[in-house]
Chain A
Amino acid sequence: MNVPKKLLYTKEHEWIKVNGDRGHVGITDYAQHHLGDIVFVELPELDEEVAQGESMGVIESVKAVATLFSPVSGRILEVNEELEEAPELLNEDPYGNWIAIVEITEQSELDDLISADEYKSYCETLE
């Protein structure tokens, strides 16, 4: 299982790559593997306000529908529209394909997220 060191994670299997007040958000390798073939991604809307831990989108695979939870509170700056036509990109390269970019309004919320090592050990408890 691939868990890049430089990202922060949630127990709901999202990752965020923080760059100042901008965060790229996506789903983890563990998430894409367990969902199986992803067939549909419902992206958040541009400028939408999202709250930490609340829904910001939906990922649908052949065997499940999963909610995408926002790792932080903020405003949606960009969405990856490529995923609408090619949802399989999330299976092929979950860390290379972000879903949305969030403007992070509460830097302190980053403390609620977990490190790569913590996430890795958390996933092991799920097996």
Chain B
Amino acid sequence: MSKLIFEKGVKGSNSFSLPEAGLAQPDINQTLPPIFLRHQAPDLPQISEVEAVRHYTELSQRAYGVDNGFYPLGSCTMKYSPKINEWAARIPGLAALHPYQAPETIQGALQLYYEMQEILAEITGMDGFTLQPAAGAHGEMVGVMIIKAYHLNNGDKARTKMMVPDSAHGTNPATANMIGFDVIEVKSNPRGLVDLDDLKSKMNEEVAGLMLTNPNTLGLFEEEIEDIAAIVHEAGGLLYYDGANLNGVVGVARPGDMGFDLVHVNLHKTFSTPHGGGGPGSGPVGVKAHLLPFLPIPLVVKKEEQYTFDYDRPLSIGKAKNFYGNFGVIVKAYAYIKALGGEGLKDACQNAVLNANYMRHQLREDYNIPLDRLCKHEFIINSKKQADPHGISTMDIAKRLIDYGYHPPTVYFPLIISEAMMIEPTETESKERMDDFIAAMKSIAKEAKETPELLLGAPHNAVIRRVDEVKAARKPVVKWEAP
């Protein structure tokens, strides 16, 4: 491992001087209360500019993103982020705005923002959108707050429970819990879909709603979605669409038409803006007409050809984020949607589904596929065929993929499939690139039989070998201390 920047310093090597400010120095003892005053200088690294640049360049070269190679991380939709999106977000008229500028001076930005509210509503079949949430889980939180506000506004205080399928992303129960709901788990049936009998038996006047991902985390479309919606609605609940897997249906089917009352979408998944370190994310929330009054303030509205902020929404859940959300990300997603258009989005979706099914078909001889039928944008394999006699686990396969130069897929999720490995190629990848990955997977399956030590000891070529995840979770060391 290379040294931390704190360990690299040489005293005196960051010798630079700032020009005189030309202002009187305020007396720090007069301006800050004593409890905020430091008595010892912070131990900052003493490092020259060129060494600092080398340090971070070295770290950046160790990162692996979709610009480095294939990144089939299931449920994450690691599609390519087109570089023209970056150009759009850097247009000075959009990038250099101040959030406190008067609406009449930022009409272009507000028009884009307004159009994005409308576009997302059209794509998802909703009646209105807030663009404020900073990412997917934040969108869920806003959505669940809207559900709560809706029931309370109806004088319905008995709804203290939220239903979540056992295949759901962990953020669903976590979000419901954060907003004060007790979580009820709905079971999946042997086909990997919501078990309608279990849903019926648990749905009652204490349940606020059902949070559902469709296609679900197994990559399967909830074929009985209209029945699900009817069961939830008949008992007075609301149906929430987790947009994590929207890439499996975007441009082809709309949550609003399936009976969902509200949705969140992940601009950093379906609409190609960068993930994680390249982020931030953005998780707009859309609602049907009966939930419009509860959307966060402000919305951007159009009045007599002028765009402006609407704060006059007395039933609103309030502000969900400082200012207006991650505006740069919204611009990037707008550029993407405008570049593709309706037909383009549909093509992208269909190619994502075709790619996933192609890979599933190519891998079925070498790997066990628990639900081996037509999938949407992703599918699940596991290590059942590799388990005997050498005890190869899905983790071993994932670690070995690193040696082949790939970012491993999502593993051990969803929880309802033992030893799951979830593969999502997205529409971005060419057949040639997918064939290379399939060849690597086939080669690993062969190694599992003939040279299992290659898997059990993997990764062999990475900067860091297999880490002790158990120790890291039980006894985490989260900060560096000077020796």
| A and B part of one assembly | yes
A58 to B277, CA, bound (A): 30
Q: List residues of chain A with CB within 8 A of the CB of B403.
A: none
Asked if B183 is at the interface of the complex by the 8 Å CB criterion, the answer is yes
Indicate with 1 or 0, residue by residue over A35-79, a CB within 8 angstroms of chain B CB atoms.
001011000000000000001000000111111000000000000
Contact indicator B170/A65 (Cβ below 8 Å): yes
Contact indicator B474/A39 (Cβ below 8 Å): yes
B172 to A: closest C-beta gap in Å:
12
Contact indicator B469/A62 (Cβ below 8 Å): yes
Contact indicator A64/B473 (Cβ below 8 Å): no
Contact indicator B470/A39 (Cβ below 8 Å): yes
Q: List residues of chain B with CB within 8 A of the CB of A39.
A: 470, 473-474
A85 to B: closest C-beta gap in Å:
10
List the A residue with the shortest CB-CB distance to B473: A39
A56 to B: closest C-beta gap in Å:
12
Contact indicator A67/B185 (Cβ below 8 Å): yes
Indicate with 1 or 0, residue by residue over B32-75, a CB within 8 angstroms of chain A CB atoms.
00000000000000000000000000000000000000000000
Q: List residues of chain A with CB within 8 A of the CB of B185.
A: 67
Q: List residues of chain B with CB within 8 A of the CB of A87.
A: 474
In terms of DSSP, what is the predominant structure of the interface of chain B?
mixed
Please tell me the number of chain A residues within 8 Å of chain B, measured between CB atoms. Answer: 13
A40 to B470, CA, bound (A): 11
Asked if B430 is at the interface of the complex by the 8 Å CB criterion, the answer is no
A65 to B185, CA, bound (A): 13
Indicate with 1 or 0, residue by residue over B444-483, a CB within 8 angstroms of chain A CB atoms.
0000000000000000000000000110011000000000
A25 to B395, CA, bound (A): 31
B397 to A: closest C-beta gap in Å:
14
Contact indicator A34/B415 (Cβ below 8 Å): no
A39 to B473, CA, bound (A): 6
A65 to B413, CA, bound (A): 10
Please tell me the number of chain B residues within 8 Å of chain A, measured between CB atoms. Answer: 13
A67 to B177, CA, bound (A): 13
Asked if B412 is at the interface of the complex by the 8 Å CB criterion, the answer is yes
Asked if B418 is at the interface of the complex by the 8 Å CB criterion, the answer is yes
B137 to A: closest C-beta gap in Å:
15
Q: A39-B474, A55-B183, A87-B474 are in contact. Are A64 and B469 (CB under 8 A)?
A: no
B102 to A: closest C-beta gap in Å:
48
Contact indicator B418/A64 (Cβ below 8 Å): no
Indicate with 1 or 0, residue by residue over A74-117, a CB within 8 angstroms of chain B CB atoms.
00000000000001100000000000000000000000000000
Contact indicator A88/B474 (Cβ below 8 Å): yes
A62 to B415, CA, bound (A): 12
Indicate with 1 or 0, residue by residue over B154-194, a CB within 8 angstroms of chain A CB atoms.
00000000000000001000000000001101000000000
B436 to A: closest C-beta gap in Å:
28
A64 to B183, CA, bound (A): 17
Between A62, A66, A67, the greatest number of chain B beta carbons within 10 A of the residue's beta carbon is seen for A62
A67 to B418, CA, bound (A): 16
Contact indicator A37/B170 (Cβ below 8 Å): no
Q: List residues of chain B with CB within 8 A of the CB of A37.
A: 469-470, 473-474
List the B residue with the shortest CB-CB distance to A65: B170
List the B residue with the shortest CB-CB distance to A64: B415
Q: List residues of chain B with CB within 8 A of the CB of A55.
A: 182-183
Indicate with 1 or 0, residue by residue over A6-39, a CB within 8 angstroms of chain B CB atoms.
0000000000000000000000000000100101
Q: In chain B between 409 and 460, which residues have their CB closer than 8 angstroms to a CB of chain A?
A: 411-412, 415, 418
Contact indicator A34/B418 (Cβ below 8 Å): yes
List the A residue with the shortest CB-CB distance to B394: A63
Q: In chain B between 374 and 431, which residues have their CB closer than 8 angstroms to a CB of chain A?
A: 395, 411-412, 415, 418
A37 to B: closest C-beta gap in Å:
4
Q: List residues of chain B with CB within 8 A of the CB of A65.
A: 170, 415
A123 to B92, CA, bound (A): 63
List the B residue with the shortest CB-CB distance to A127: B418
Q: List residues of chain B with CB within 8 A of the CB of A66.
A: 415
B347 to A: closest C-beta gap in Å:
36
A109 to B313, CA, bound (A): 50
Q: List residues of chain B with CB within 8 A of the CB of A62.
A: 469-470, 473
Q: List residues of chain A with CB within 8 A of the CB of B183.
A: 55
A73 to B411, CA, bound (A): 35
B236 to A: closest C-beta gap in Å:
21
18 contacts between A and B (CB under 8 A): A34-B418, A37-B469, A37-B473, A37-B474, A39-B474, A40-B473, A55-B182, A55-B183, A62-B469, A62-B470, A63-B395, A63-B412, A64-B412, A64-B415, A65-B170, A66-B415, A67-B185, A88-B474
14 extra interface residue pairs, beta carbon distance < 8 Å, beyond A37-B469, A63-B412, A64-B415: A34-B418, A37-B470, A37-B474, A39-B473, A40-B473, A55-B182, A62-B469, A63-B411, A64-B412, A65-B170, A65-B415, A66-B415, A87-B474, A88-B474
Residues of A near any B CB (own CB < 8 A)? 34, 37, 39-40, 55, 62-67, 87-88
